[in-house]
Structure 1
Amino acid sequence: MSNRRSAFVLAATASGCGKTTVTLGLLSALLQRGLRVQPFKAGPDYLDTAWHHAVSGVASRNLDSFMLPQPVLNSLFNQHFLAADVAVIEGVMGLYDGYGTDPGYCSTAALAKQLGVPVILLVGGKAVSTSIAATVMGFQHFDPALTIAGVVINRVNSESHFQLLKQAIERYCALPVLGYVPLFSGVALPERHLGLVAARETHKDAQCWHEFAASLEQTVDINRLLSLCEKDPLPDTPLPQMLAHDAGAGLTLALADDDAFHFYYPDNLLLLERAGVRIVRFSPLHDDTLPDCQMLWLGGGYPELHARELSENRPMREAIRQAHRRGVAIYAECGGLMYLGTTLRDTAGQRWPMADIIPGHSEMGQRLTRFGYCEARAKSQTLLAAPGETLRGHEFHYSDFTPQCDAVLDCHKTRDGDVLKRWQGGWQVGNTFASYLHLHFAQRPEMLNHWFAAARSMP
């Protein structure tokens, strides 16, 4: 391998093909070679990035084409890639699956083309022989402008089976097959209703990832993969300056961070810190006092799994109510909304008192209430948007919130140009704003000026 950097997108033919597990194995293998890695995830997923971080020790960054304008996304990618030897981008869903039927919008393929990064295609090898070449050929020719640098075959039982698959692909597709991923016990990732179980909740021994990485070194030609994916940084792509470097100077943000609340984009926190905000972490589960602050953020997570502990921590619930009464600028996303409501009914049917700042009740269901990207237009002044301003984000929740106050957002979901659904969401009470919407602040950093102004309006 040369001294140049390498970058690749690990994409697959469909969801469930093992992208995350293989990504983690490759990250571990690259680290064991002494290389500096930077993991990325296409799309809005929090759980895959948490696993990237747990295995690599490096904060994984989301590259979301719906929430982030192209210049912003490119700049964020470049900024983090410049500090690494290898950028590993885990794709989302199947290679050409995007938002609607347009493979050029919010798909893994579109992201790879936008960044000029080649694709390594992960293809399942179970119960197939020559037909695998037809699958690869379809992905190869669906978009001739996309660079597929090589193929890795997952779930292969034997060396002889791999050789049969390799010969078929290389004969009919003229694409290099870089190796295979054998069946390997011990690295299957646990799942629950939102997808993977969060990395912080499990106690997988790092040794299993080291052993998996050692196995991949034997079955995947990583040297060739890196040489095929050599990549220069993008041309000069400075991040658009839309937020003064001292916009949040003098403000302290209390950040909820424990097993109940931990869904945060690292770039959001970095943006706040670069604006001068001091971030202090606390636990609504275990602490009984709140840090001295003018801003408070309750992110997404799994409050439904910890409803009893959250409810029984009365000192913390009261501390947050007092902060609200003092005018602390409180922002809550998804799980944070559930905590700020009046009550939460868990999956067992037990109803638990919550912070009672946003009047309303949360209840867990058995299936997704809402899933996917959406846009939200502010009807009145909120913590992040003035009337008429639009926020782009995504929702992914099994709970439903029945409000007892008026919503402040007009939300809608479109697909292929058609509006599929409209609904009301988001609730503002005093200096507190909560909704189901997960946001990437880099889409329009000046939205944070509203939050800063609200924080400074405290008596």
Structure 2
Amino acid sequence: MSDERCAFILAGTGSGCGKTTVTLGLLNALQQRGKRVQPFKVGPDYLDTTWHTALTGVPSRNLDSFMLPAATLNALFNQQMQTAQIAVIEGVMGLYDGYGTDPNYCSTAALAKQLGVPVILLVDGKAVSTSIAATVMGFQHFDSRLRIAGVIVNRVNSDSHYQLLKHAIEHYCGIPALGYVPVTPEVVLPERHLGLVTARESHIDTRPWRDFAARIEQTLDIDRLLSLSALATLPPGEWPPLPAADAGKGLTLALADDEAFNFYYPDNLQLLENSGVKIVRFSPLHDASLPECQMLWLGGGYPELHARALAENTSMLASVRAAHQRGVAIYAECGGLMYLGTRLRDLEGNVHSLANVIPGDSQMGKRLTRFGYCEATACQPTLLADEGETLRGHEFHYSDFTPKQAAVMDCQKSRDGKILSQWQGGWQVGNTYASYLHIHFAQRPEMLHRWISAARSAG
């Protein structure tokens, strides 16, 4: 193919159909062809993107229609496509699964139409023959405005079986079958309670993935896939007003980045750096103290798996407390909230003393405490939002936090126009703010202005 720009969304019939594995195989195969790929993930997921990034060396970007206005999301997509030849976008759940029952709200299908990119549908070929055409036809006719450009069949171990499936799809559905993906036991994505194990924890052996890419080069028609995915124009997009390039000049942000804390959207970090903030990474697990800083960010992750080591690193806990006491502008999300709390009780009943910056205790559970998109409206001025301002984000946690002071955010979860639940969350102590909510700064760049301003006022 030529060097024209291409983009496609790999969508599935449902969760667990193999989207991440096949996405990783395609990314590897395209890179082995010398192509500049840009991985994306539909929705807020942190874990799939870590695998995209680890196996390509290219930071994967989230395209989240709940947190980001359409114009902003398109601008983010367009920005990354300036240096990429091919966008490989992994869908979320099933093709038409969004937030609630509206297939045009936060679904993979809705995003494909918004970006103007074709869908490649991944279907399961195990233990099926002509019936596979009925599955494909159902997805085709559910939304006539959506362009499903081709089909890939997963879990097929013989060419003769695939030829039967290919004939059924092309004869009854009139769209091309682009090949199949064989069962490959040596390529496995490990999982735990929050989903996939992060790529950085897995000490990835890239050889099986290279072999997998070489194998699917033989079973997929990648040339035709790319010819069907030519991107003639980029979607209309516009960034909201962003902080000036020197807004954060002279400020240093200490970023917790190790096995316990590593859930960050690359776009959030880029927005901070573009505003002049210097980011220095550190490890709450392994380092003795914080780097010199005026801002501190403790992101999400798995502090519960490292609670003993975090508690035993008393010099780092003391350093974080001292930073809080001198007014460093501290922001913590989810796992970071747990770390800033007083104690953490793990699943074995062991209690670990932590930073005690946000008075309260965390308790790990065996079931999700809260999951999904929600909105949080500030009841008072906070580090990121003024009173009355609303932030959109998502929560996904097995722990519960019992605070010893009043929360500062009114939170609610709605679906299909109905409020499902309401609660209070988010805690502000001095210049420190922590909550369970994961957010994308591009939805409201004023958050960065507030954080930077708080850091300067404390200095």
**Is the contact made by 1:81 and 1:233 (CA closer than 8 Å) also made in structure 2?**
no
Match of 1:348 in 2: 348
Number of aligned residue pairs? 459
Within-5 A mapping of 1:143-292:
143-234=143-234, 237-292=237-292
**Distance of 1:87 and 1:95 partners within structure 2:** 18
| One-letter amino acid of the structure 2 residue matched with residue 452 of structure 1 | I
**Is the contact made by 2:74 and 2:235 (CA closer than 8 Å) also made in structure 1?**
no
Shift of 1:280: 0.4
SS in 2 for 1:457: helix
Match of 1:392 in 2: 392
| One-letter amino acid of the structure 2 residue matched with residue 164 of structure 1 | L
Match of 2:416 in 1: 416
**Distance of 2:310 and 2:27 partners within structure 1:** 36
Counting aligned pairs with the same residue, the percent is 73
**Is the contact made by 1:78 and 1:233 (CA closer than 8 Å) also made in structure 2?**
no
Structure 1 stretches of 4+ with a deviation exceeding 4 A read none
Shift of 1:244: 2.1
Change beyond 3 A, Cα 1:233–1:354: farther
**Is the contact made by 2:385 and 2:450 (CA closer than 8 Å) also made in structure 1?**
yes
**Is the contact made by 1:14 and 1:95 (CA closer than 8 Å) also made in structure 2?**
yes
| One-letter amino acid of the structure 1 residue matched with residue 143 of structure 2 | D
Shift of 1:241: 2.5
Match of 2:311 in 1: 311
CA deviation vs aligned residue, 1:20-54 (integer Å, no higher than 9, x gap): 00000000000000000000000000000000000
Shift of 1:454: 1.0
**Is the contact made by 2:365 and 2:398 (CA closer than 8 Å) also made in structure 1?**
yes
SS in 1 for 2:330: strand
**Distance of 2:323 and 2:240 partners within structure 1:** 34
Query: TM-score, structure 2 length as denominator?
Result: 0.99
Match of 1:339 in 2: 339
**Distance of 2:165 and 2:204 partners within structure 1:** 32
SS in 2 for 1:289: coil
SS in 2 for 1:41: strand
**Distance of 2:352 and 2:235 partners within structure 1:** 53
Structure 1's unaligned 5+ residue stretches are none
Alignment partner of 1:119 is 2:89: no
Match of 1:131 in 2: 131
Match of 1:301 in 2: 301
| One-letter amino acid of the structure 2 residue matched with residue 98 of structure 1 | G
Match of 1:440 in 2: 440
**Distance of 2:35 and 2:223 partners within structure 1:** 12
Match of 2:369 in 1: 369
**Distance of 2:452 and 2:15 partners within structure 1:** 40
SS in 1 for 2:247: coil
Alignment partner of 1:92 is 2:92: yes
Shift of 1:243: 2.2
**Is the contact made by 1:2 and 1:227 (CA closer than 8 Å) also made in structure 2?**
no
CA RMSD of aligned residues (A): 0.9
CA deviation vs aligned residue, 1:161-200 (integer Å, no higher than 9, x gap): 1111111111110010000000112111000001000000
**Distance of 1:315 and 1:342 partners within structure 2:** 16
Structure 2's unaligned 5+ residue stretches are none
| One-letter amino acid of the structure 2 residue matched with residue 314 of structure 1 | T
Match of 2:425 in 1: 425
Shift of 1:289: 1.3
Alignment partner of 1:77 is 2:77: yes
Alignment partner of 1:37 is 2:70: no
Shift of 1:238: 4.1
**Distance of 1:262 and 1:60 partners within structure 2:** 14
CA deviation vs aligned residue, 1:97-148 (integer Å, no higher than 9, x gap): 0000000000000000000000000000111111111000000010000000
**Distance of 1:69 and 1:186 partners within structure 2:** 40
**Distance of 1:164 and 1:105 partners within structure 2:** 35
**Distance of 1:137 and 1:120 partners within structure 2:** 14
